[in-house]
Structures are given as structure tokens and as C-alpha cells.
Amino acid sequence: MDRTELLGLFARSLAKVDTDHPLAMRLCEACVDILRAEGAALTLSAAPGERLAVSTPGMFDQLESLQEVLGVGPLHQALAEERLIVMHVDPVADEYPVFSQLAGSIVDEATLYATPMRAAGRVVGVLSLYVTAEPQTRSAEDLGLVADAVGAALLGAAESLDWSERTQIHRAIGMVVVQLRISPEDAFAVIRARAFTRSTSLLSVAQDVLGQRLQFSLDDSD
């Protein structure tokens, strides 16, 4: 589709979204509409370790959280390799065996498209689309064009976005660093491991750490 025509369609779709919704969610919902998906997520990576994610509600939101907890999946690969990643959710897929198996327990069948969002010549995040029925009919060029437009919009409004959840995770990492006398990277791995064993989100574990409902100790008996 012509660039101008596609961006015009996206603008009209965005205008139909409830203006009471935050900007990131409005962009996410417009992507679902214009790119003919059942679910979508936007992950803005403004700096290393600084990510803001928003998903349309539903079972696909769980898949985004799962990728964050595990630290692997199409989202991470798209960021690292700066290219479109297409994955068919399959319990026996080879690319990410743990993610694939757990994702298969959340959704029976779906195809995940992870498209890098570029702004000012660099990748600033990823647009993830979930399609459960027919294969994605938009071309890779169309996906990239919409992703870049969304990335530029998010980056331009980065200061007004809600980073509070990420702030809580960073504060929790700092507390685990003190408790276990380890590096921030290892502390993040500890929080990820606890979220995985609890089948919950990183934010939930972080809030327990901040609320002192969860403490880590060097004492092996604890």
C-alpha cells in the first residue's frame, strides 16, 4: 500500500480510539485495527534497561509479561537483531523452548509478529502483533512503516509517559543488591526467577520487595 495512504488510514484509526485512553494504549489499539490483528503490544526502549511496555487487554498481555520474565522471545530477538521476527506459537517450537511451551498453555494457536520501531535512524522499541485467524496480510514494509510512525510518536512523548512501573522494578533491584550483595544484573535475574516460580509478573515481585513482604537473604536456611 502507498505510504501516504497507509499513514492516512492509521491516523483515521487513531482518531476513532477513545481519547481518554493514554497515548501508548491509543497507538496500540490503532495498530490492532489498521494491521488486522487480535492483540498488540508496544515496547519502548529509550535506553538500555529502560523499557516501557503496554498491551491491549486479554490473553496476549500474558505472553508479553512472559517474555519479560524469561528475558527471551521474539520481542528480545527483534530488538537485538533489529529485524522483523515471525513466530508461530507452538509448544514444541525450537527457537525459545521454555517460552514456546508456556505460551502454548496460554493460547492454542497464534502467530506473533515482532517489528522493530525506528526513530531518528535507530531502533527505539518493538511493535508486537498477535494474529489467531488468517495470516498477517500486510507486507513487511507496511508493518515497518506503521511501527516507525508509532515509535516516533512514543519517543517524542517519552517524558509524558507513565514510567512508574519500571521505576518500582529498578528500586526493587536496588534493594535486592543490598540484601544479597550482588550486581544489579544478578539482582534482576533473582527477581525474574522469583516471578517465574510464582507464575507472576516482574512488577508483582518488585512490589512485594518494596513492601518488605519479600526479602532475600544470604542465609542458606532461609
Any domain includes 169: yes
**Statement to judge: residues 97 and 143 lie in one domain:** yes
- Domain holding 185: CATH number? 1.10.10.10
Q: What are the grid coordinates assigned to 121, written together?
A: 535512524
Any domain includes 221: no
- Tell me which residue has cell 519502548: 44
> In this structure, what is the dihedral angle of CA atoms 74, 89, 43, 55, given to the nearest 10 degrees?
180
Surface-to-core class of residue 196, CB atoms within 10 Å of its CB (0-12 exposed, 13-18 middle, 19+ buried): middle
Give me the domain span that covers residue 123: 3-160
pLDDT higher at 45 or 196: 196
**Statement to judge: residues 142 and 184 lie in one domain:** no
Any domain includes 220: no
Q: What was the pLDDT predicted at 136?
A: 65
**Statement to judge: residues 28 and 41 lie in one domain:** yes
Confidence of residue 94 (pLDDT cuts 50, 70, 90): low
pLDDT higher at 50 or 204: 204
Report the alpha-carbon distance of residue 79 to residue 102 in Å, rounded: 21
Report the alpha-carbon distance of residue 222 to residue 219 in Å, rounded: 6
**Statement to judge: residues 148 and 200 lie in one domain:** no
The answer to whether residue 28 scores a pLDDT higher than 90 is yes
CA 116 to chain centre: 12
The answer to whether residue 160 scores a pLDDT higher than 90 is no
**Statement to judge: residues 111 and 152 lie in one domain:** yes
- The model's pTM: 0.85
**Statement to judge: residues 124 and 24 lie in one domain:** yes
| Mean pLDDT over each residue of the chain, to the nearest integer | 88
Confidence of residue 95 (pLDDT cuts 50, 70, 90): confident
Q: Are 91 and 6 in contact (CB under 8 A)?
A: no
> In this structure, what is the dihedral angle of CA atoms 206, 212, 213, 218, given to the nearest 10 degrees?
90
**Statement to judge: residues 182 and 128 lie in one domain:** no
Confidence of residue 91 (pLDDT cuts 50, 70, 90): low
> With pLDDT > 70 as the criterion, what percentage of the chain qualifies?
93
Number of domains in the chain: 2
Q: What was the pLDDT predicted at 209?
A: 97
